[in-house]
Amino acid sequence: MLRTIFHVDMDAFFASIEQRDCPDYRGKPLIVGAPPDQRGVVCAASYEARKFKVRSAMPSRTAHRLCPQGIFVRPRMDVYRAESEQIMRIFEEFTPQVERVSVDEAYLDMSAIIDEKSAPDTALESALPLAREIKRRILAERGLSASIGVAANKFLAKLGSDFQKPNGLTLIRESEKVAFLKPLSVRSIHGVGPVTADALEAKGLHTIGDIQNTALALEPIVGSWADTLRQRAFGVDARPVDTSRERKSVSAENTFLVDTEDRPILRSALAEMATDVAHSLEAHKSGALTLQVKVRYSDFKTLTRQIKLEEPIHTPRDIYRLACHLLATHRLVTRPLRLLGVGASMLVPVENVQPKQLRLPL
């Protein structure tokens, strides 16, 4: 069955909201995050700031060094979440088949309103007016721009939304998908992280086209994911749009621009991630009975440690405190970290969360 999938990705969402709400910021390099005179990281950067190579998760001091004229503002997560709800409502006016991926992106399955009898490329092309109308509505009603990828599956649609940012609209036709993918880096495949990418490149597989043409066995390189990787290389993805709001876990990660064991930087990053995880739990009206921390060192060795709780947690304070407890108990910060992450699982409805004293298991 041919699907018609949109992936809608808001452009520099946090920074764009700040520029919309404060006209003085428009056209200027805006950096959402901790001030440069404090330990902390960048949450988001406007496109003007990105020209100076400022990126999210970068230490604020580094961002200031790269972009001395940058304007730093504190994040307003409540505002961003409220804005996200307004945008998701616009999507749901076009189709009930909306999969919310994060506050600033979603998949839309438009198949039901496209002529199924049309040839594959014709069906996709007929969806373009709908994509343009979604972009127009977001701009007219919310004062923000979005980029949309249109394709027959989620993998290609997501690639498309990133292809011509900002304010892009990219259609990837079924008849052209293999050629479209061929020159792209293997790193553009969702699920191919730095370690996997390094392993593929060490075997001479630098582009998706290399994977399309290789006779090498991929199992020794990527294990059980080999079949999926080959399918992605040819633009095949059978995953449906998942409209369920139920989540089994939520997480947040921070990959540092420079490996660090600086405690203030790690604490600041951990606090922001704890807040992000708490906001995700709140959005899904859930608390968590298991908390996990993840660290990755300079040599890409990755460790995870978790703790099971007697009572569910859902506040930033409790998540942060337990994450610190796990890091300290297992002595995970004995050398510089490349990545730090926090995850919550074993989710239960928020109605079950009682204001009891948090108890750690013995």
Gap between the terminal Cα atoms of the chain:
53
Distance of CA 284 to the CA centre of its chain: 17
| Cβ partners under 8 Å of residue 52, min gap 6 | 29, 66, 67, 70
Helix residue ranges, H only, 171-295: 177-181, 194-202, 208-213, 219-222, 226-233, 263-283
117's tokens: 């009898």
Whether the CA torsion 70, 74, 79, 85 is positive or negative: it is positive
Q: Could you say which of 105, 116, 133, 272 is catalytic?
A: 105
Locus of tokens 């399309």: 212
Within 10 Å of residue 270's Cβ, how many Cβ atoms? Answer: 21
Interatomic CA distance for residues 270 and 325, integer angstroms: 12
Interatomic CA distance for residues 255 and 193, integer angstroms: 12
Question: Among this protein's residues, is 99 annotated catalytic?
Answer: no
Q: Helix or strand or coil: residue 47? A: helix
- Taking a C-beta distance cutoff of 8 angstroms, is the pair 294, 245 a contact? no
Q: Helix or strand or coil: residue 278? A: helix
| Cβ partners under 8 Å of residue 48, min gap 6 | 27, 28, 29, 30
Interatomic CA distance for residues 146 and 152, integer angstroms: 20
Q: State the catalytic residues.
A: 105
